[in-house]
Amino acid sequence: MDATTLPQTFDRIVLARRPHGEPVADDFETQTLPLPEPADGEVLLRTVYLSLDPYVRGRMSDAKSYATPMQVGDVVVGGTVCEVVASRDDSRQVGDVVLAYTGWSEYATVPARHTRRLDPSTAPVSTALGVLGMPGFTAYAGLLEIGRPQPGETVVVAAAAGPVGSAVGQVAKVKGARAVGIAGGQRKVEHLLELGFDAAIDHRADDFRDQLAAATPDGIDVYFENVGGAVWDAVLRRLNTYARVPVCGLVSQYNLTERPEGPDRAPGLMNAVLTRSLTLRGFIQDEFVKTHTEAFRRDMTQWIADGSVRYREDVAEGLASAPEAFAGMLRGRNLGKQLVRVGQDPTA
């Protein structure tokens, strides 16, 4: 694509209002704007793939958190794989495919230094948003640094059919542990078994707690938390002495508008932490970037190449599909990494 074929305008999706509960269409607004030109040191990017991730729901709220909230009117944030279509920086050439963070937008200008060139010969470029990107890195660093699974131990992971959870279970298997996945629905359970999990459980089943007990006869040594809520309540009872719990996400709570009903469970949790010497450690993947990125890229690339780790992508078509796909992801509708194909993939 050259300057003569670039469009005059582009679409982007901004936050129209802060969602109350589950995001709906009226929380977003599509804007059509003139195509921008890059300044010195910048590139003009055409979005190919957009990543949809649960953490973005938290960024839509103005509640205090680890990241600055989006403001109403801001482009919705998100990682992207893009093609360089104009460049005013010698480090990036037209036609380069790069990893960026341009959000829900068909085009964007960004400093070239804020992009990373991708090599399509190594893996499909979409994987830079999934198994070889932030979700895969989150799984790798959180499991190995906090969970530290040992051969023969039992590792349980919630939201196991998602991009983080599926990687956690497979990396646990590489390290010689048993992998037990918890997911919602029979289709996801079957997918986990196809990936090589030792057991997979549907948390929607009436006998979920009984199934969890049967799948973890020796208890749970590592629990990778992505969900919270009722799943956590069931898992807590099965944690062994010295169990480690990397807390990555709490997706069951992201759309809540008030505190859950019921008794205060904090005293029981603290008693379990004390009497069973549990380690609960929340983390944000950014804290491990300096220490784990090189090893992650080396190991995960090798594991994908030799078949130790497999992945699946759930791809919605067109930028306009992003709001519905995002809401569906928060409900657990996706199977694998949720992406939006915003434009043609030049490497396909």
> What's residue 131's pLDDT?
97
Do 203 and 107 lie in one domain? The reply is: no
- The count of structural domains within the chain is 2
Q: If pLDDT is split at 50, 70 and 90, which confidence band does 263 have? A: confident
Q: Check whether 127 has a pLDDT greater than 90.
A: yes
> What's residue 258's pLDDT?
66
Q: What is the mean pLDDT of residues 31-41?
A: 97
Q: What is the mean pLDDT of residues 174-189?
A: 97
pLDDT-above-90 percentage for the chain: 88
Do 316 and 294 lie in one domain? The reply is: no
Question: How many distinct helices (H) and strands (E) make up the chain?
Answer: 9, 15
Do 168 and 270 lie in one domain? The reply is: yes
Do 292 and 146 lie in one domain? The reply is: yes
Rg over CA atoms, the chain: 21
Do 300 and 323 lie in one domain? The reply is: no
Do 32 and 112 lie in one domain? The reply is: yes
Q: If pLDDT is split at 50, 70 and 90, which confidence band does 18 have? A: very high
> Quick one: the chain helix, strand, coil %, rounded to 5?
35, 25, 40
> What's residue 66's pLDDT?
76
Do 173 and 211 lie in one domain? The reply is: yes
Contact (CB, 8 A) for 126 and 339: yes
Q: Check whether 157 has a pLDDT greater than 90.
A: yes
Segment 204-213 long-range contacts (CB within 8 Å, at least 24 positions apart): 208/234, 209/234, 209/237, 212/156, 212/180, 212/182, 212/238, 213/238
Do 103 and 188 lie in one domain? The reply is: no
Amino acid letter for position 119 = D
> What's residue 250's pLDDT?
83
- Which residues, 6 or more positions from 278, have their beta carbon under 8 angstroms from its beta carbon? 239, 242, 243, 244, 245, 272
Task: Quote the domain boundaries for residue 70.
Answer: 9-129+312-341
Which is higher by pLDDT, 315 or 58? 315
Three-state DSSP at 111 gives strand
Which is higher by pLDDT, 67 or 179? 179
Amino acid letter for position 96 = D
Q: Check whether 257 has a pLDDT greater than 70.
A: no
In a domain, 348, yes or no: no
CATH of the domain at 39: 3.90.180.10
Q: Check whether 112 has a pLDDT greater than 70.
A: yes
In a domain, 1, yes or no: no
Q: How many CA atoms lie within 13 A of 225 on its CB side?
A: 27
Of 234, 225, 224, 226, nearest to 251 by C-alpha is 226
Q: Check whether 264 has a pLDDT greater than 90.
A: no
> What's residue 174's pLDDT?
98
Q: Check whether 3 has a pLDDT greater than 60.
A: no
Average pLDDT, the chain: 94
CATH of the domain at 211: 3.40.50.720
pLDDT tens column, 274-331 = 999 999 999 999 999 999 999 999 999 999 999 999 999 999 999 999 999 999 999 9
